[in-house]
Amino acid sequence: MIPAEMRSRRREVRNPVLALPAMAALRQLDPAASAALAAVLGDLAADARRRAQISWAQNKGVMAAYWKAVGAYATHIRRALRS
C-alpha cells in the first residue's frame, strides 16, 4: 500500500488527465497549436468558474457542480499542455 503523502506527489494523481492515452498525441502538437489550444482552455476554465458562481448564487447546485467540473478539467488539460 502506498502512503497517502507519496501517492499525492505523483503527477497523475494531481492531474488525472496526464494518465489519458490521448495526452501523448496532444504533446506532439506544434508549439503554436498547443499555445492556441491552451489559450482556449484557459478561457473555457475562466468562463466555467464564472458560470459556477452564477449558478451557485441562483441556488442551482447541480449546475454549479457541473461548471466547476468543466473548469477543473479545462485547467488540468491546459496545465498538461504547458508542461
Give the model's pLDDT for residue 13: 74
Q: Which residue has the cell 489559450?
A: 39
pLDDT at 5: 65
Global pTM reads 0.80
| The pLDDT of residue 51 | 98
In single-letter form, the type of residue at position 53 comes to Q
The secondary structure of 17-80 as a DSSP string is GGGSTHHHHHHTS-HHHHHHHHHHHHHHHHHHHHHHHHHHHTT-HHHHHHHHHHHHHHHHHHHH
Which residue is associated with the grid cell 497517502? 4
Asked if 73 and 17 count as a contact pair (C-beta separation under 8 A), the reply is yes
Q: What is the pLDDT of residue 50?
A: 98
Spans in the chain with pLDDT lower than 70: 1-8
Q: Residue 59 is placed in which grid cell? A: 441556488
Question: How many domains does the chain fold into?
Answer: 1
> Containing domain of residue 22, as a range?
4-82
